[in-house]
Amino acid sequence: MAYFANYAFWNYFTFPALLLNKSISWHEPTDGELIATFSDTIPTHCRTQHFYFSRETGLLSRLDYRVNIIGRFTRAAHVVVEHAIMNGVNVPALRRVTPRGPGGTPLPGMVLIEIRVHEFTVSFDETTNTPP
């Protein structure tokens, strides 16, 4: 469980910068959808993940994946319910993970994981103006 929680949070909280990693390839099959393929060297839920963005705001609205360490048939819909601006950064403040049903839609009523971010800070090295 510790392995799962740590790689998951690292993936969630480094996004969208995570996709700049050269070990991840991605493409946009349709407007508002991005499919990312992770290399085997990056700990993550599964190799191929689907990101969906709001056409109005451009913000992440949902992430679909399988949770391979639990079982290859575990299909999850990770829905961003709420965004908030914290310390000048727009972050997904409330996320809910539910199973995906037939057709890939999130199943209502069964929340597997809920993540609420109360505070978010970005620190920079003052001499170089880059993250430490």
Convert the pLDDT of each residue in 35-80 to its tens digit: 999 999 999 999 999 999 999 999 999 999 999 888 877 899 999 9
Q: How would residue 119 be classed by pLDDT, with cut points 50, 70 and 90?
A: confident
Q: How would residue 128 be classed by pLDDT, with cut points 50, 70 and 90?
A: low
What is the reported pLDDT for 130?
59
Are residues 10 and 38 in contact, defined by beta-carbon separation less than 8 angstroms? no
What's the rounded mean pLDDT across residues 13-39? Answer: 94
Which of 90, 95, 79 minimizes the C-alpha distance to 122?
Answer: 90
The encoded tokens of residue 108 equal: 């209502």
What is the reported pLDDT for 56?
93
- Distance from CA of residue 2 to its chain's centroid? 18
- At a CB cut-off of 8 Å and minimum separation 6, what does 8 contact? 45
Please state the pTM of the whole predicted model: 0.86
CB atoms within 10 A of CB 123: 8
What's the rounded mean pLDDT across residues 18-32? Answer: 94
